[in-house]
Amino acid sequence: MQAIVATLGYVLSPDRRRILMIRRDTRPDDLHYGYYNGLGGKLEPGEDIVAGLEREILEEAGIECKEITLAGTISWPGFGRDGENWFGFLFRISAWAGTPHTDNPEGSLHWIEIDEVLAGRVPMWESDRHFLPLVFDDEPRVFHGVMPFADGKAVGWNYHTL
Q: Is the pTM for the entire model greater than 0.85?
A: yes
* Contact by Cβ (8 Å): 123, 132: no
* Contact by Cβ (8 Å): 135, 157: no
**Domain boundaries defined on the chain:** 4-153
Beta bridge partners of 146: 75, 158
- Cβ burial of 104 (10 Å; 0-12, 13-18, 19+) is middle
Spell out the per-residue pLDDT of the chain, length 162, in tens: 899 999 999 999 999 999 999 999 999 888 889 999 999 999 999 999 999 999 999 999 999 999 999 999 999 999 988 899 999 999 999 999 999 999 999 999 999 999 999 999 999 999 999 999 999 999 999 999 999 999 989 999 999 999
* Contact by Cβ (8 Å): 61, 101: yes
Instruction: Indicate the class that CATH gives domain 4-153.
Output: alpha beta
Alpha-carbon span 31 to 34, nearest angstrom? 9
